Amino acid sequence: MRTIDYTPLYRTIVGFDRLANMIDSAAKLEGGNGYPPYNIEQVDENRYLIELAVAGFGEGDLDVEVQENVLTVTGKRVPSEGESARQYLHRGIAERAFERRFHLADHVQVREARLENGLLVIALEREIPEAKKPRQIAINGKSGAKLISGSKTKAA
């Protein structure tokens, strides 16, 4: 595995070291495991969908959890009675246990998770609090300076 040096990045940005650490840890977690395959779709400016292909898994076999901006999806298939006695000539549907993690940006909330036609669909929405939204700052210069009460100007 190739290691990325973030030193040049740290010299030109301030306060984004957490982002660089998240990128580094995400690269380590992936480890090349592509199971289960997934899509990430941006629906609009603040809404996203994650779709995981989980054929063979039921609602009771899947767990979706969010903790400290990390969305973790785990799947563990428990065979039902009689299923273990089945003989397969070809088994192409993996149904193996998995854990998939997604790092969420600040203010991204999970709105719902639903199972549709073998796809686990997770709806996400970025909800920025009013205090964090951009606001216009007035520039107070000499022409816009206000007279402070109690101060007097001399007449010429």
Same domain, 103 and 121: yes
State the residue range of the domain holding 79: 35-130
In this prediction the pTM is: 0.67
User: Containing H/E element for 145?
Assistant: none
**What is d(CA 42, CA 113) in angstroms, rounded to the nearest whole number?**
16
| Token pair 């600040």: residue | 106
* Per-residue model confidence as pLDDT tens digits over 50-94: 999 999 899 999 999 999 999 999 999 877 776 777 888 998 887
* Per-residue model confidence as pLDDT tens digits over 2-55: 666 767 766 666 666 666 666 666 666 555 578 999 999 999 999 999 999 999
| Token pair 């395959």: residue | 37
Distances (CA, A) of 136 to 46, 127, 133, 141: 21, 20, 10, 16
Same domain, 95 and 51: yes
Same domain, 27 and 68: no
